[in-house]
Amino acid sequence: MTLCRGETRDAAREPMVKKEKADYIIQTVVHALDVLEQFRGDVDELGVTELSRRLRLHKNNVFRLLATLESHNYIEQNKHTENYRLGLKNLQLGQTVIRQMGLLRRARPVLESLTGECNETCYVAILKEAHVIYLDALESAHPVRVASRTGARLPLHCTAEGKVLLAGASDTARQRCSARELKRYTAHTVTDRQELEKELEMVAARGYALENEELDQGVRGVAVPIRNYTGCVVGALGVSGPATRFSEARIHDELVPLLLRAAAEVSGRLGYCPPADIAQNG
């Protein structure tokens, strides 16, 4: 038996008849991406006329695409030549991909070792757009287990990984995330903001977060932060499974120490050096 996190909610939203992905393609978006892809190699700037020729689109259509991309900083115009070039937003997205891939590359061996030690489903997750995004996961070998949800977007306030990421987020990011509705998923879901804030303070102080059947009935979990060379929380390392296997004793005596050691290894690979007092106590 495999416990799929959020399975009933996702299934309810899926159409009865699945279409091919090609049926959902928006041609205007394709044209916008085609514009961006013209700026490659030694091509620094292009004008409307040249883009129109390359893309075989009318100049008016090209100008509208450029104006849209420029409004979101994906394209910028050289005021002297009136030609267009890539905007800084592309660099920002590229750096995000690099950071995330770096996290995955360094975390994967540790994730494999952690899963082997505890034989439960383990995750690497990040905070993005007020959700937990699961970048990687390895499943338990137990017949009854929590299924991998790689790529899934889950709520912050009722997942162990989400609480860790919220506790380590900047004040601005936390306020933006906390402004969202605290939806109730089970009888255990915390929906009171003050109660959640108190829990986040405790998470930050003790260094790990718990999930007690708050998103899915019968599922418990624990997560710890992953830090980079600046000390910022850039991800979370978590483990979850059936509540019947996640007793309080096992969580605190086995799983928390395993996670803390694993997260320390990943963080070290990202250049994090803990303060001297923490390193000595650890």
Domains in the chain: boundaries: 21-86, 93-281
Q: Mind listing the pLDDT tens digit for each residue in 259-271?
A: 999 999 999 998 8
Is pLDDT above 80 for 129? Answer: no
What is the rounded end-to-end Cα distance, in angstroms, of the chain?
38
pLDDT of residue 6: 56
Between CA 193 and CA 181 the distance in angstroms is 9
pLDDT band at 9 (very low <50, low <70, confident <90, very high): very low
Same fold for the pair 21-86 and 93-281: no
Average pLDDT in the 206-222 region? 96
Predicted TM-score (pTM) of this structure:
0.67
How far is the CA of 140 from the CAs of 69, 152, 220, in angstroms?
A: 44, 18, 14
Q: Is 16 left (phi over 0), alpha (psi -120 to 50) or beta?
A: alpha
Between CA 279 and CA 277 the distance in angstroms is 5
pLDDT of residue 26: 93
Comparing 10-14, 47-51, 95-99, 277-281, the range with the smallest average pLDDT is: 10-14
* CA quadruple 184, 188, 192, 193: dihedral sign: negative
Average pLDDT in the 208-226 region? 96
DSSP designation for 180: S
Are the C-beta atoms of 267 and 107 separated by less than 8 Å? Answer: no
pLDDT of residue 12: 44
Are the C-beta atoms of 3 and 216 separated by less than 8 Å? Answer: yes
Q: How many CA atoms lie within 13 A of 66 on its CB side?
A: 26
Between CA 22 and CA 26 the distance in angstroms is 9
pLDDT of residue 65: 97
Neighbours of 138 (CB within 10 A): 18
Q: What is the CATH number of domain 21-86?
A: 1.10.10.10
Comparing 63-72, 126-135, 244-253, the range with the smallest average pLDDT is: 126-135
CATH architecture of 93-281: 2-Layer Sandwich (3.30)
Is pLDDT above 70 for 16? Answer: no
